[in-house]
Amino acid sequence: MIKFSKSSNDTPRRCENTSVFEILHLAKYKVISNIFVIFYRVKIETSIENCKLKIENCFAPFSLSKRGFTLVELMVTTSIFVIITLVVLINYPRANGAIALRLMASELAVTIREAQVYGVSVRGISSGTDTLFPDYGMYFGKPTGDANVPYPYYLFADKPVGQARGDGIYDPTNSSCGGGTSNASSECITSYGLKGINTVLKICGQVASSNVSIDRASCYNDTGALTLENLTVLFRRPNPEAILSGHRLSDNNTHQKMIAAGILIGRQGETDPERMKMVLIWNTGQITVK
């Protein structure tokens, strides 16, 4: 055994009666202990590195910076893009036509509303040395049926005769029109025209005795609504109500009073009423687009 002793003056310990064999035996255990410590340390560090590698490998498929498109992914992505592009290109003409039709119907409704504002606000016009305060209205003639010919409609002033009111009907005595003013020989103030793939297909009216409400289908199919050759929409101050009168060839050139009138707009040659628009005017003064 190795024995240690301590002097009285606190000098360091020293070995007494220690053989060489005991020293070598102690050194052997010390070396073996160090080897085990080194082995386990290396094993632990290796395990930690392996765990790190496993974690990185688990998240590797989600790392976009370390990988690109495979051939299958590229083909699928390209196919989706081509399909979406074809769908957009195929539906573009129909969508474009629907937008143009809606804009045309809205523009027509705005011009009718303009005549209503003129009639209610008592807009005066000059006639020689006098200033007249006529009623205002819109006049729609017979559809030409030709998309290349602008469909005309007119904002007019129903000139009074003396102190009396006008006759409530547009008088196309002189075709000169424009400039926003009426001249001595014409009631027309402004002319408008519809030109393009969309045009006025029909003008329809509904009389008070009719039980069928006017709409796109009844106007196009002549089921209840009267097909008119022309239509006059008049606004007489101070009331915002509309005075509607239409003319048919079978009426011997007489104008018939209406409670509602519709102007059917659509693509030339269109047969589906659902793809048309109608500007609907009621005798109450309401103007809507259907």
Paired sense of beta strands 130-132 and 14-16, if any? unpaired
For 253, the token pair is 């050139």
Query: CA 27, CA 6: separation in Å to the nearest integer?
Result: 23
By the 10 Å C-beta count (0-12 exposed, 13-18 middle, 19+ buried), 36 is classed as exposed
> What SS3 state is found at 113?
helix
Full pLDDT tens readout for the chain, 290 residues: 444 444 445 544 444 455 655 666 666 666 676 676 676 666 676 766 666 655 555 555 545 455 667 888 889 989 999 999 998 888 877 777 788 888 888 989 999 998 898 888 877 666 666 667 788 899 988 655 555 556 778 888 887 766 667 777 787 665 566 544 555 557 888 888 777 778 888 888 888 777 777 888 888 887 767 888 888 999 988 888 999 988 776 666 667 888 999 999 988 778 888 888 999 999 999 999 98
Judge if pTM exceeds 0.85. no
Q: What is the pLDDT of residue 206?
A: 85
**CA dihedral sign, ordered 242, 246, 251, 255:** positive
Q: What is the secondary structure of 194-226 as a DSSP string? A: E-SSEEEEEEEEE-TT--S---HHHHHTTSSSE
Nearest Cα residue to 110 out of 155, 176, 171, 175: 155
For 96, the token pair is 């474009």
By the 10 Å C-beta count (0-12 exposed, 13-18 middle, 19+ buried), 233 is classed as buried
Nearest Cα residue to 203 out of 148, 117, 266, 155: 266
Query: CA 242, CA 120: separation in Å to the nearest integer?
Result: 11
Helices (H), 141-262: 216-220
> What SS3 state is found at 131?
strand
Query: CA 38, CA 42: separation in Å to the nearest integer?
Result: 6
For 17, the token pair is 């009666």
Q: What is the pLDDT of residue 14?
A: 47
CA distance readout (Å), 140 to 7, 18, 156, 160, 249: 134, 133, 11, 21, 15
Query: CA 104, CA 115: separation in Å to the nearest integer?
Result: 17
Can you name the residues that pair with 137 across neighbouring β-strands? 156, 234
Q: Which helix (H) or strand (E) holds 233?
A: strand 230-235
Q: What is the pLDDT of residue 158?
A: 83
Q: Where are the domains of the chain?
A: 98-289
Paired sense of beta strands 130-132 and 125-127, if any? antiparallel
Query: CA 55, CA 185: separation in Å to the nearest integer?
Result: 93
Q: What is the pLDDT of residue 281?
A: 93
Query: CA 100, CA 262: separation in Å to the nearest integer?
Result: 19
Query: CA 203, CA 93: separation in Å to the nearest integer?
Result: 26
